[in-house]
Structure 1
Amino acid sequence: MHQEKSLASSAEAEIIALKVLGFLASEPERLSRFMDLTGLGPQAIRASAAEPAFLGGLMDHLLADETLLLIFCEEHDLEPERIQLLRRKLPGAALDL
């Protein structure tokens, strides 16, 4: 693997997290579950979409559900390990990710 591809950046992490948001929003059940678990409504999600900590929370949500993670990774041609690596680049990441 090329070094550039192995290095994760916070910009790449934010882009992937926004893709996660789109992925969740593309299926009403996925988005509804996210809103139920977080207590956030559509307006709060829109208002928070540019916040790095919120983007980290989106990635946490994805990483907490292996089935969802694998579907997302397949649709976006990513390895689940890449999501874990990118999650570390956003605020609030657990140290054991």
Structure 2
Amino acid sequence: MTFESAQEIAVEALLQLTRDPEQIGRFLAVSGLGPESIREAAEEPGFLAGVLEFYMADEAMLLTYCENAGLRPTMIAAARFALVGDPSDYG
């Protein structure tokens, strides 16, 4: 998967979150962001990977998103990897 394809998947996932007040509220709470700072945060490296990690942490939400987006769940993990690589590389 290319970096650009991964970005597209992550941006679409973020847009999906913004359409659901409960889910975006959870995302903001988990990330520590306020609604006013989401645009600025979206420009930071790793932010879009964090969006995908948020989905990956909730299987029901992940599966629902993937079904609606026409993606296999493994594509979310592949996109996350394409954006930032393997987490074990940082440990």
- Kindly indicate whether residue 68 of structure 2 is the aligned counterpart of residue 75 of structure 1: yes
Instruction: For CA contacts below 8 A with separation 6 or more, give which structure has more relative contact order.
Output: 2
What residue identity is the alignment partner of 1:75? Answer: N
What residue identity is the alignment partner of 1:25? Answer: T
- Kindly indicate whether residue 13 of structure 2 is the aligned counterpart of residue 20 of structure 1: yes
Percent sequence identity is 39
The equivalent of 1:47 in structure 2 is 40
Helix, strand or coil for the counterpart of 1:78? coil
> Equivalents in 2 of 1:92, 1:35: separation in Å?
23
What residue identity is the alignment partner of 1:36? Answer: A
What are the ranges of 5 or more consecutive residues in structure 2 without an aligned counterpart? none
CA RMSD of aligned residues (A): 1.4
Q: How many matched pairs?
A: 88
> Equivalents in 2 of 1:52, 1:16: separation in Å?
15
TM-score, length basis structure 1: 0.83
Runs (4+) of structure 1 exceeding 3 A deviation are none
Contact persistence 1:24–1:31 (CA under 8 A): yes
TM-score, length basis structure 2: 0.88
What are the ranges of 5 or more consecutive residues in structure 1 without an aligned counterpart? 1-7
* Structure 1 residue 93, shift from structure 2 partner: 4.3
> Equivalents in 1 of 2:64, 2:82: separation in Å?
22
The equivalent of 2:51 in structure 1 is 58
